[in-house]
Amino acid sequence: MTLPEPGQVTYTRAGLAESRHEVHLAVVDARGDLWAGCGDPDLLSFPRSSSKPVQALPLALAAPELPQDELAIACASHAGTPGHLAVVRRLLERSGSAEGDLRCGSHPPFDPGAAADLIRRGEAPTPLHHNCSGKHAGMLLACALLGWPREGYTQPDHPLQRRIRELHAGLADLPLDAVQMGTDGCSVPAFALPLVGAARLFARLAAPAGPHAAGLERVFQAMRHHPDLIAGPGRLDTTLMPLVPGLATKMGAEAFYGLALRDTPHGPLGVAFKVLDGGERARPHVALAILEALGLPLTAELRALAPATQHNWAGREVGHVQVRLPLIRA
């Protein structure tokens, strides 16, 4: 079917459009059928870190007794706070791995306080501070439990990465060759798939079924019970999930977003959207517009995550944010 034109998030100043972000969106029901959307639901896109719940699935299936916080950090783009690092260390210890075994690279913590503490101590960031270190620690443990070599775990031909690609294809109802591969910022494969396929991944989290149901349910519950580990203070996943019952979300780089909605008036739904220009500031505005369009109430706390009015550093009102999301049932 033909869906309406893409959505738009427009920033205005003095009544004039100053910038505009184009949005493509797919909503999928529990059966995996396209339920609604706008723009191009077949837009081929990299979910980037929105893939982490699927990348953690081999671990969830292999380690059913793993504590929820450790599974959550394996799904996370964490902020590098001391609390985040402590959970990553525990996960590393389970496989007999050390920080030096992580192949994600290094960057300063996303959390400003944690980054400032490093500077005050005169210390450089290590791989542990990388927002993907929990995912990598989880991958090392999955390899140990499944009898696969830990060496080379980030390579596309490693058994773990082949398995993760197969899971993307199976959960998205796609042939394997439809799941394209690039390389992510943390050096593991980044898988590209149509938006409707990515939405199916989140529909499977919202309504687990089939041979992977137990692992999907564990991932969903870990994300729901530990939103503080999935992102960090002040970041969208961490603030949004506690405000919406039955919601698990995962941000991806370049303004990708996935939502698993368990409790909507229409039943469980999976959502994936891409802000085409990578404008991440548009993401919370689109997320709230989706919740409202699906009949979920927007509280004052939710609306505060995406204010419609822009203020300058002196507190003066200088512009507005307008969201147009022509979400049409398929």
> Mapping DSSP to helix (H, G, I), strand (E, B) and coil, where does residue 325 land?
coil
pLDDT of residue 111: 96
Q: Rounded to two decimals, what is the model's pTM? A: 0.96
Which regions of the chain does DSSP assign to beta strands (E)?
7-13, 16-29, 34-38, 44-45, 180-183, 189-194, 247-252, 256-261, 269-275, 309-311, 317-324, 328-329
Tokens read off for 288: 């709230």
Average pLDDT over residues 17-25: 97
Tell whether the model's pLDDT for residue 246 goes beyond 80. Answer: yes
Average pLDDT over residues 120-131: 97
pLDDT of residue 21: 98
**Per-residue pLDDT tens digits for 314-327:** 999 999 999 999 98
**Per-residue pLDDT tens digits for 149-203:** 999 999 999 999 999 999 999 999 999 999 999 999 999 999 999 999 999 999 9
Mean pLDDT computed over every residue of the chain: 97
Look at residues 98, 54, 95, 103 and name the one whose alpha carbon lies nearest to residue 75. 54
Tell whether the model's pLDDT for residue 41 goes beyond 70. Answer: yes
pLDDT band for 2, please (50, 70, 90 cuts): low
**Per-residue pLDDT tens digits for 258-292:** 999 999 999 999 999 999 999 999 999 999 999 99
Q: Could you identify the residue written with the tokens 């505005």? A: 285
pLDDT of residue 4: 77
Look at residues 213, 235, 70 and name the one whose alpha carbon lies nearest to residue 140. 70
pLDDT of residue 284: 98
pLDDT of residue 327: 86
Neighbours of 60 (CB within 10 A): 25
